[in-house]
Structure 1
Amino acid sequence: MTRKYIDCRAYPSANHCSVALCADSEEELLEAAVQHAVAVHQHKDTPELRTQLKELFKDGTPPLEAPKVG
């Protein structure tokens, strides 16, 4: 099983979020990412948000250093 992750550092935001989430399943990662997006970034939990988040998932674990943005 390949771990999946999503890294807020790769997507600049007003609050300069440095959270990276990873999980053993896409379903578990999606639930954590949705909770984070709603609580921290004030997104609404919609089917569109869930689709967008899943498209940002990467295989493996987040790098120690922040990804280059821009």
Structure 2
Amino acid sequence: MGRKFIDCRAFPSEMNCSVAISADTESELLEAAVQHAVAVHGHQDTPALRDQIKGIIKDGMPSEEAPSRAA
């Protein structure tokens, strides 16, 4: 089982967040990403937010180069 990650650089935001989070398990990554989304981006911890975050989890490690931002 490899690492999993989420990279905020791939998603548009007013703050141009450059945080990337990685973990060994999807559940650990989900919890860290939800905490980040709530504390930094002002989202509410809802089932919809958790589903959205689950949908953007990727396998591997984030690149040092910024990915193109989603529209």
Per-residue deviation, 1:69: 2.4
CA distance in 2, matches of 1:48, 1:69: 21
Question: What's the counterpart of residue 43 of structure 2?
Answer: 43
How far did residue 56 of structure 1 move? 0.2
1:54 corresponds to: 54
Residue in structure 1 matched with residue 5 of structure 2 by the alignment = 5
**CA root-mean-square deviation:** 0.8
What is the number of residues matched between the two proteins? 70
Query: How far off its partner does 1:10 sit?
Result: 0.1
Higher-helix-fraction structure: 1
Report sequence identity in percent.
Answer: 66
Q: Distance in 2 between matches of 1:43 and 1:2?
A: 28
Please list every run of 5 or more consecutive structure 1 residues that lacks an aligned counterpart in the other structure: none
The normalised TM-score by structure 2 is: 0.95
User: 1:27 aligns to what?
Assistant: 27
- Structure 2: segments with no counterpart, 5+ residues: none
The equivalent of 2:65 in structure 1 is: 65
Measured in 2, the distance between the counterparts of 1:69 and 1:10 equals 4
Q: Which runs of 4+ in 1 moved over 6 A?
A: none
TM-score by length of 1: 0.96
